Structure formats: structure tokens, C-alpha cells
Amino acid sequence: MTTTDAIQQLVDNEQVDPSFAAFARTVLRVYGIHSGTAPHPPAIEGAQLDLTAEFTQEIGEQDAIDADWLIWWLGRTSRDSKPRLLWEAFTSGKLSTDTLLAVLPATWRVSDTLQLPPSQWLALFRATGYTEDGRPWYRPPQPVELWRGATGDHRTGPYWTVDRAYAEHIMTRRAGRTRLWHTVAEPWRLLAHFSAPTGDEYVVDTYGLPITPVG
């Protein structure tokens, strides 16, 4: 079964999470299949299931985790469960770098980044090496100015954007006393880059990085 077949099988069986279209588009892009019409799942009851318990049982029976098997599970589980399932697969020791590279960008793009501690996201992205839109590439040669909308407790999170206006928009969506934060990250701190209509996004290792509030 090809990766495209695995994605289509999920849709045919109506076993998909509502965020699946975005997830599928990103997975296909990593495989070099550029499609603006990734399968859109029907609205189904139970699509927001947390399948962590079932996944834990199934993963114990696998000798190795291939991309199609993992895509099938990540496509079925809820948006916010995807990072936890991926972390469990990663720490099982059964996940190859190529398989991680196939699903990590999509999981990052459709999930709330707060669903994993920053240290776990950073471990996942370090394992694949630097990527541009899910593909291995060269890091930027110069430091990058970045912005983040978050509470003080989450100011050191890994998600940052080059677009100040979008960071301010995120700030208004978050609960609690959010602020706008600013930093300039050296190239070695940049673990991944994603192009987005709302502004380029970076996964950043902020340990020891000076971060200042704005305003």
C-alpha cells in the first residue's frame, strides 16, 4: 500500500479526524505530491476520539513502525492527540528517521503545540535535522528576527513567526494574560521552517535565548 492509498483508505472508511484534510495535504507534500484537493473527510460521530490507549496496545505488537501504519493512526485520532501518539511512537525505538520525517511536519501544523512540552517537540525536530516545509534543507545563514504571542509561562515555547501582526493575532486568541514576545534566533537554534500565508513559521530552540516582552 502506498502512502496515498493509506490516506484514501481512511477517507473511504470514514475513520478520520476533522483536521485530516490539512494533515493529508502536508503528508503528501513531504512525499512530493502537491495537491490542493486533499481528501476532505465527512463529518462523523466520534471523529474526535483519543485513541492513545488503543495505540499503546497496537504499538507493542509492532516490530517496526512504517509510515503507512502511523499515518493511519494519526489520521483517525483527534487533533490534540496526534502529538502524544507521535511521541509514543518516537520513544518506542521502532520509528525510523524517514518515517518521522513523513509525519512530523503534518502533526505540527494541525495540532496545538501546547499538547507536548517544548523539550519533546525539540527532540522530535532534532531527530529529523533541519527541514524546510518538511524536507531536509540548509539552515538560514543569518539570525532571524521572530515574534510570539503567549503568556509569560509559555514565552519560551518552540513556535515563532517572522510576522509580528500574526503573532499579535495569536495573542488575542490565547486565554490568560498573553503578551507579544520578541527575539532574534541564531541559525543553529532554528530546527524547522514552514511557509504559511500568515507568515513564515519557525521551530526554535529557545533554551538560554534572550526573549523580551513588547510594549
With a cut of 50, list the residues of the chain below it in pLDDT: 11, 14, 32-47
Phi, psi of 159 (to 5 degrees): -90, 125
**Is the pTM of the predicted complex or chain greater than 0.85?**
no
Taking only the tens place, the pLDDT of each residue in 195-211 is: 977 678 999 999 999 99
pLDDT tens digit string along 97-141? 999 998 998 899 888 888 999 999 999 999 999 999 989 999 999
Instruction: Please tell me the predicted confidence (pLDDT) of residue 38.
Output: 40
Q: What pLDDT score was predicted for residue 34?
A: 44
Residue 143, CB half-sphere, CA atoms under 13 Å: how many? 7
